[in-house]
Structure 1
């Protein structure tokens, strides 16, 4: 009996503990080392996703062009056009796809008379809309940092998922 107890104790002591990392609540404070780890993780993830997206682009028949904000567009010189000013209204819709080209939501996401400067939207979508013309359609290839990031949309889109966005100005 003592042997079994001794072996059990030794086995428990030799096990490596996997203590989960504690994250502060929203608005909490992170240490400098935690911030550095997070920054490096995002930098490495962004580099990896950009390479994966570029590889995907190279295999397509449609041409995609990189933009200054770190996403790709089907329109050359897209973000060099006249930029729409803040407070100007715009109506638009878009569909979301993963890079297997599977549509994520059955219905498009649609907004009527949204005003620039008051968007609650993906960074890439708001940025792209600033340069789009009335009735124009454009496809965007967006790394996760400009999509739903490390949290996902808490519905169908998981964390760290790059997206294909088919955007149309109505």
Structure 2
């Protein structure tokens, strides 16, 4: 009997001193959500580019330029002489109209004063302003990822909406810092 109690005690001691083992997760995710999201975004991007290409093809008399940042634009009024362009910290005064890709106006003649790269402005317009000179007028076509993307503007622009912006840069006040 003492031997039996001794053996039970030794077994209990060995079992209780064992370190806990990690449990395997019950559900293993394969990353399919990210793959599906990437596929959706590729299809959306392809659709938007087809819409933009259709606009360009419908206007063969307009010389569209492609930016390095991934949007298209053409000059309504181009200044050929070498003048200043907005740089980091410069104060720019401009006005713009925003339309959807079908041409329906969303915002009309919004006047804005903006400190380059120090205030909030959607990516495409911020990059587009850097291409402009004072008194130039440019029409930009932004795919949704260069506009307001997935979130929209919480007002009139919804999710994944490509935009057309007509912009006139009035003045640039250079930052002397």
Structure 1 unmatched ranges of 5 or more: 1-30
SS of match in other structure, 1:34: helix
In structure 1, what is the Cα distance between the partners aligned to 2:118 and 2:31? Answer: 32
Do residues 49 (structure 1) and 48 (structure 2) align? Answer: yes
**Normalised by the size of structure 2, how large is the TM-score?**
0.67
Query: Alpha-carbon deviation of 1:33?
Result: 4.0
Query: Alpha-carbon deviation of 1:119?
Result: 2.7
Contact preservation (8 Å) 2:86, 2:92: no
Question: For residue 100 of structure 1, what is the aligned residue in structure 2?
Answer: 102
Count of aligned residue pairs for this structure pair: 134
Partner deviation per Cα, 1:23-75 (whole Å, 9 max, x = no partner): xxxxxxxx954334333322321122112201121011423122111110104
Identify the structure with the greater strand proportion.
Answer: 2
Question: For residue 143 of structure 1, what is the aligned residue in structure 2?
Answer: 143
Summarize the Cα distance change of 1:134–1:35 in structure 2 as closer, same or farther, 3 Å threshold.
Answer: same
Question: For residue 7 of structure 1, what is the aligned residue in structure 2?
Answer: none
Contact preservation (8 Å) 1:123, 1:146: yes
Instruction: Choose the corresponding residue for 1:91, options 86, 90, 93.
Output: 93
- What stretches of structure 1 move > 4 A for 4+ residues in a row? none
Contact preservation (8 Å) 1:119, 1:126: no
SS of match in other structure, 1:74: strand
Structure 2 unmatched ranges of 5 or more: 1-29, 171-177
Structure whose alpha-carbon radius of gyration is higher: 2
Contact preservation (8 Å) 2:100, 2:164: yes
In structure 1, what is the Cα distance between the partners aligned to 2:46 and 2:101? Answer: 17
